[in-house]
Structure 1
């Protein structure tokens, strides 16, 4: 089965179009003011309209309150919510009930204990996304999109049916990441940028091509 690709942190019509045309199955829109990839509700609504029916629309939030979730549902109407903060399993369940959408929980990984901890979310999250935990020495680290890789060997041989692999993926390393982990879905943000928050259309195409050819 071909690998599915999510291009996250899109913020312009041109890059949304490029991602969809190159074959991305999911596009990610970020709602986190500290991120260089942050979009407003009107921006997100316009971008989502370009992709609707062609790719699944994912809205990334970080410890979002009910008011923000409600506004996102009303204005953007995403297919999937990505929770990328310190949300508890209980909160993930609440988010799913409030939005009536599948919720993907991001787990930041440094070692095997982090992989094990993801099991706490298995009953409430529709998908688990494994991202790299930013080094403690990294100043200004974001919840995701820091361009760091974790040890893919921690997922080697893992047969769980639904998970997303993220964290420092690039057109150059995504095929090896898929080979090691067997990831059914890969997620990239900083790895297809020419500068923080600035997506590169050529890199988007190269990443998608490399991921699709990996299996």
Structure 2
């Protein structure tokens, strides 16, 4: 089954609905933009640690120390790392914060960054997202999944245990195609299920989760 990460959450009721609908990961953005939350706001939206759903914060240019502090304050399951980072910094954050670290590879065209294997070996999880100048995510821009199929297969050959999180332009209408072409373990959606920035449409949330799960079952 392809797990679903519902990201860019700004309202506790949307997070509860996503969880009830079958999302496995709830994401809050602490990196600026129209869906930005403060730590207290993220705590209210994501809730406390619990069985059945994992809580992820998206961070940007905060220092490693700041990321560690907020991860501890929120008792996060994972931190999604944007911005300029090094593998050593990611290891430090994971160890000190006691949570997973998900580096984001921002992609243009049909090639993966040359350090993809290094990052994947360090973290065990990689997020693939579209590169858009001046924005970290939630852009609605999709990757060229067909063109990336071969590079992703090669990456998995190097790192068989890698968890792949696919983001960028996913919607209920196209997530099945993305799952068919790249077989990600997690599909990450934000703007594709919204009625306004940060406001999730409950019907589209359910449609997305159902489409992702159905596609994964069919691709077995």
TM (norm. structure 2) is: 0.87
Structure 1 runs of 4+ off > 6 angstroms?
none
Report the equivalent of 1:150.
143
Q: How many residues align?
A: 208
Distance 1:38 1:79 in 2: 19
CA contact (8 A) 1:48 1:57 kept: yes
Superposition pairs of residues 46-195 of structure 1, within 5 angstroms: 46-49=44-47, 52-134=50-132, 141-157=134-150, 158-159=152-153, 160=156, 161-195=162-196
Distance 2:73 2:192 in 1: 29
Report the equivalent of 1:40.
38
Distance 2:114 2:177 in 1: 23
Q: Post-superposition shift, 1:115?
A: 4.4
Q: Post-superposition shift, 1:154?
A: 3.4
- Which ranges of structure 1 fall in alignment gaps of 5 or more residues? none
Distance 1:51 1:17 in 2: 13
- Is 1:20 the counterpart of 2:19 in the alignment? yes
Distance 1:39 1:208 in 2: 24
Query: What do the CA deviations read for 1:57-114 (whole angstroms, capped 9, x no partner)?
Result: 0111012214422331332101111102221222212222221211001101113443
Report the equivalent of 1:29.
28
Distance 2:206 2:44 in 1: 22
TM (norm. structure 1) is: 0.89
Query: What do the CA deviations read for 1:145-192 (whole angstroms, capped 9, x no partner)?
Result: 111011112332534241111100000000001001111210001111
Q: Post-superposition shift, 1:209?
A: 0.9
Distance 1:198 1:50 in 2: 21
